Structure 1
Amino acid sequence: MSESASSPAPHAVAVLLAGGLGKRAGFELPKQLAELAGKPVLRWSLDALAAHEAIAAGVLVASEDVAAAIGPLPAGWETAVPGTERQDSVANALAVLADRDDDALVLVHDAARPGVSAAVIGRLLDALKDGAKAAIPTLPVPDTLVEQADGEAGAVVDRGALARVQTPQAFHLGTLRRAHAAARDGSATDDAQLVRRLGVAVAVVEGDARLHKLTYADDMAILSGLLGSSVMMQTAVGMGYDVHRLVADKPLWIGGLEIEHSHGLEGHSDADVALHALTDALLGALGEGDIGDHFPPSDPQWRGAASHRFLSFAAERIAARGGRIGHIDLTIIAEAPKIGPHRTAIRERIAEILAISPVRVSVKATTTERLGFTGRREGIAAQAVATLQLPEN
C-alpha cells in the first residue's frame, strides 16, 4: 500500500522546550509542572508528541528538577539542558541531534502550549513533504487592532495581513541548523524568524485554538476549558496478581526498592512482586494482555531486569493512548519482612516511576495469619487494582 500524504514515514524528531521558569504565571512550581485537567502541563505536549506515528524520537529541554518530576521519558527520547535564552535551548537540543542527517524532519514545540494535536502535527509534516523547508501553524487575528501611545488609542491596524504564530514549528533539520549557526543574537522569539533571516520561505498551515499559550495564571482557566472537555473519557479498571518464591542469597526487591532481608524473590527478572502485579493491573485496564505477553520469561534479555522498566512501559502505553492514571491500589501480602516501615517509600517510588502524584497511589500490607505459603514464609504475593481514564473510541 502506498504511503498517504497524511501518514508520513516515522523519521521525524521532536524538540520540546520546557526550560522556562514561568514567573509571570505566578505559580510556586515552574508552570510546565502545574496540573492541567488532571496531568502536568508538560505531560500534555510530551504525550502528544511521543504518541504521534511520525515521530520516532525526541529531545526534552528541561532542568534536572523538571525532568525528574515528569518521570521516565518515552522510548527514544533524550534530555538537553536549557540555555539562558530560548534560542540557546534549541541550540543545545540540536547538539544532541548532531548525528542525524540534514534531511531529517524536526518539530520544535513550546511546552507552554499544551494543546498540541495530531492534526496540527500532520499538517506541518505534510507541508514539508510537499517541498517546504519550514512550516508554522497560524491563526487569524479576530480582534480589532489599534496603535497605542500615552494611554490613548491611535490608528486602526489592518488585521487582514496579520496572523498569530504558534508552535510546534517544523523544519528540515539542515535548514534549522544553518539558521541557528547564522544567528548573531538571542532576540528571536521563535525559530521561524531565524529561518526567514536566511531568505528561506516559511509555509503556513492552519493552527489550532487549543494551542493557547500559558503565560499568566488566568490562562490555566482558559486551557482547562479548551482541553478538559475536548475529549470524552471513560473509566477503565484493571486487576493484577503476582506471587514469587522466597529463596536464600538473593536481594529482595519490592515496590521498586531493595529491602534488607535474609531472602529474596526468585524469578526471571528481579521478581519485584509488587511492580509485577501493578503492571498487570495497568495493562489489564488497557486491555493489552499481561506482563508475560510483553516481557516473556523465555527471552534472555529480561533476565535480572529491573521491574520498574515494565511499569514504565505500562505508563508509556497509557500515555500513547491519551489516557491518565486516576488511582492505583496495591496490597502486598507477606509474613516477613514487615512492609509497614517501607510503605511510604514504596508509595513515593511508584509515584515517581509512573510520573503521578503520591496521592493517587495507595500501598497496603497484610499477612495471612500464618496460613498458606505466605504464612509459612515461602513466598510473597501482591494484588493491585488500577483505575484509568481513557479516551472513548
Structure 2
Amino acid sequence: MTVGTLIVAAGSGERFGGHKQFERIGGVSLLDSAIAQARSVSNQIVVALPLGYELPESTPELIYTFGGATRTGSVANAFRVLGDDVEYVLVHDAARPFASPALFERVVAALARGCAAVVPAISSVDTLKVVEGGMVRQTLDRSSIVRVQTPQGFARKVLAEVVEAEQDATDEAAIAEQLGYPVTIVAGEELAAKITLRSDLDRWRIPRVGLGFDIHPFDPDGGGDLVLAGEHFGPPGLVGHSDGDCLAHAVADAILGAAGIGGIGDLFPDTDPALRGANSMVLLGECLDAIAAKGYQIHSIDATIIAEHPRLGPSLGALGRALGTVLAAPVLVKAKRAEGLGALGAGLGVATFVVATVL
C-alpha cells in the first residue's frame, strides 16, 4: 500500500502568540519533529506552510506548498499536489509533533483492513460538563466520549470527497462522517497531545545539564584587576586573552555544553586578536543568544569559585545578580578555598566549576 501524509502547518498560532510550528524544543522545530515521526509510514509527505512563507526546496518524498486561509483550505491545497499513486492519505497536525510512529502505524493498519476513515482517540479521565453563562447545565456520561487526535487516515477516494465538499470543520473526519462514511477509532496516546498555548511547551521540555570549568593564574606582575562576572576586585588580575573572567567563562562553557554547542573557545577562540581584553560578560550574552537560537532557555546556574584570595563571601550575592541579569535566570554563586592544596591552595590562581540546566 502507498501512503501519503499531509502535514497541516499553515496556522498563525494566534493563541500561541506566533507560528508555533517553527518553535524549537531540544533544538528541533515542532514541524520537523512531526515530519520525522511521519516518515516511518509515508511514501510521500506534503507540508502546507503559511502564505507568504519562503518554501524550502521540495523533493519527490517531501513536498512543501502553501496552505489556505482555513484548515480545510490547507488540507485541500496539500491534497492537490499529492502523488497520483498514493492510495491512503493521513492528515496530521504539526502542532502534535510527538505522535509516535506506532500511532501512525495503527492508523495505517486500520486503513489496510478496509476502513474508510480512521481517527486515533483517547478516553476522558475527567468528568465532562456542559456550561452556559458560567453555570453547569448538564453532566455528560464520559464513558461514551473520547478526545480525537491526529494523524487521521482516509482512503484516497474518501478524502477527495471531503475536500470537494468544501466544508469547514475542526477535522476532516467530521466531514467524512457528515458524508455518510463510517469513522473507525484506534487507540490514541498522550504523546499526541496538541500544543496550543505557549505554556504547553513546558511538558515537553527535557532538562539538559552542562558542566563548565575554567582556571586562570594570577598575573605574576600583579597587573590589572581580578574580574569575576564583570565585577572588579582590584589587583592582581588573572592572565587571560580576554579579561580573564573565569566565572563568566565557566558559565558560558556550561550553558553551551548543555545545549550541545561546545565550549566558549569554539565561539570565541583565544587566537582571535579582536578578542584581546574583551568583556567576558558581553561574550556570555552572545552565548545566551546561541543557545536561544537552538530553542533552549536557561533553567538554573550553580557556580563554585575556588580561590584563596580575595575573600569573596560578601560579594557572592552581587556576582549572582550580575550573571542573572545577563542570563535572565536564577544564579547561585558559592566560594570555596583549596585548603592549601596545590597551585590553587597556594593562591596562584582562581578556578570555577559551574553546572547549568537548560530546557
TM tier, smaller = 0.5 to 0.7
8 Å CA contact 1:18, 1:111 repeated in 2: yes
Aligned to 2:342: none
Residue number among 159, 165, 173 corresponding to 1:182 in the alignment: 165
8 Å CA contact 1:48, 1:117 repeated in 2: yes
Q: Specify the code of the residue in structure 2 equivalent to 1:90.
A: V
Aligned to 1:100: 84
Q: Specify the code of the residue in structure 2 equivalent to 1:123.
A: R
Q: State the TM-score, normalized to the length of structure 2.
A: 0.56
After TM superposition, give the deviation of residue 150 of structure 1 in Å.
2.2
Q: Specify the code of the residue in structure 2 equivalent to 1:197.
A: Q
Aligned to 2:17: 26
8 Å CA contact 1:14, 1:107 repeated in 2: yes
Residue number among 78, 89, 103 corresponding to 2:74 in the alignment: 89
After TM superposition, give the deviation of residue 200 of structure 1 in Å.
0.8
Cα distance change on mapping 1:139 and 1:358 into 2, 3 Å: closer
Cα distance in 2 between the residues matched to 1:131 and 1:158 = 31
Cα distance in 1 between the residues matched to 2:71 and 2:105 = 25
Deviations 1:235-274 (A, max 9, x none): xxxxxxxxxxxxxxxxxxxxxxxxxxxxxxxxxxxxxxxx
After TM superposition, give the deviation of residue 328 of structure 1 in Å.
7.9
8 Å CA contact 1:13, 1:58 repeated in 2: yes
Cα distance change on mapping 1:165 and 1:79 into 2, 3 Å: same
Q: Residue 218 in 1 paired to residue 199 in 2?
A: yes
Aligned to 2:181: 200
Cα distance in 2 between the residues matched to 1:115 and 1:191 = 20
Cα distance in 2 between the residues matched to 1:145 and 1:117 = 27
* Backbone CA RMSD of aligned residues: 3.0
Query: 1:231-380 counterparts in 2 under 5 A?
Result: 326-327=260-261
Structure with larger Rg = 2
Matched length: 222
Aligned to 1:57: 44
Cα distance in 1 between the residues matched to 2:54 and 2:194 = 21
Aligned to 2:222: none
Q: State the TM-score, normalized to the length of structure 1.
A: 0.51
Cα distance in 2 between the residues matched to 1:13 and 1:327 = 35
Aligned to 2:348: none
Cα distance in 2 between the residues matched to 1:58 and 1:328 = 34
What's the % identity of the aligned pairs? 30
Q: Residue 139 in 1 paired to residue 122 in 2?
A: yes
8 Å CA contact 1:136, 1:168 repeated in 2: yes
After TM superposition, give the deviation of residue 95 of structure 1 in Å.
1.1
8 Å CA contact 2:10, 2:51 repeated in 1: no
Aligned to 2:149: 166
Q: Specify the code of the residue in structure 1 equivalent to 2:103.
A: V
Cα distance change on mapping 1:212 and 1:96 into 2, 3 Å: same
8 Å CA contact 2:65, 2:77 repeated in 1: yes
Cα distance in 1 between the residues matched to 2:105 and 2:54 = 27
8 Å CA contact 1:82, 1:89 repeated in 2: yes
3-state SS of the aligned residue for 2:89? strand
After TM superposition, give the deviation of residue 327 of structure 1 in Å.
3.8
Cα distance in 1 between the residues matched to 2:42 and 2:260 = 27
After TM superposition, give the deviation of residue 39 of structure 1 in Å.
1.4
Aligned to 1:259: none
Cα distance in 2 between the residues matched to 1:73 and 1:49 = 16
Q: Residue 128 in 1 paired to residue 111 in 2?
A: yes
Q: Residue 35 in 1 paired to residue 35 in 2?
A: no
Deviations 1:68-127 (A, max 9, x none): 5xx666761111211011001111111112x514x7111110101111211101100110
Cα distance in 1 between the residues matched to 2:98 and 2:58 = 19
8 Å CA contact 1:212, 1:223 repeated in 2: no
Cα distance in 1 between the residues matched to 2:138 and 2:14 = 33
8 Å CA contact 1:82, 1:92 repeated in 2: yes
For structure 2, list consecutive stretches of 5 or more residues without a partner in the other structure: 209-258, 267-273, 275-289, 295-359
Cα distance change on mapping 1:146 and 1:94 into 2, 3 Å: same
Q: Specify the code of the residue in structure 1 equivalent to 2:76.
A: A
Q: Specify the code of the residue in structure 2 equivalent to 1:93.
A: A
Residue number among 183, 186, 190 corresponding to 1:209 in the alignment: 190
Aligned to 1:15: 6
Cα distance change on mapping 1:65 and 1:44 into 2, 3 Å: farther
Cα distance in 2 between the residues matched to 1:24 and 1:135 = 28
Cα distance in 2 between the residues matched to 1:149 and 1:108 = 33
After TM superposition, give the deviation of residue 64 of structure 1 in Å.
6.4
Cα distance in 2 between the residues matched to 1:359 and 1:114 = 19
Deviations 1:322-346 (A, max 9, x none): xxx94489x9xxxxxxxx9xxxxxx
Aligned to 1:115: 98
Cα distance in 2 between the residues matched to 1:220 and 1:73 = 29
After TM superposition, give the deviation of residue 214 of structure 1 in Å.
1.0
Q: Specify the code of the residue in structure 2 equivalent to 1:182.
A: A
Q: Specify the code of the residue in structure 2 equivalent to 1:94.
A: F
Q: Specify the code of the residue in structure 1 equivalent to 2:3.
A: A
Cα distance in 1 between the residues matched to 2:36 and 2:262 = 20
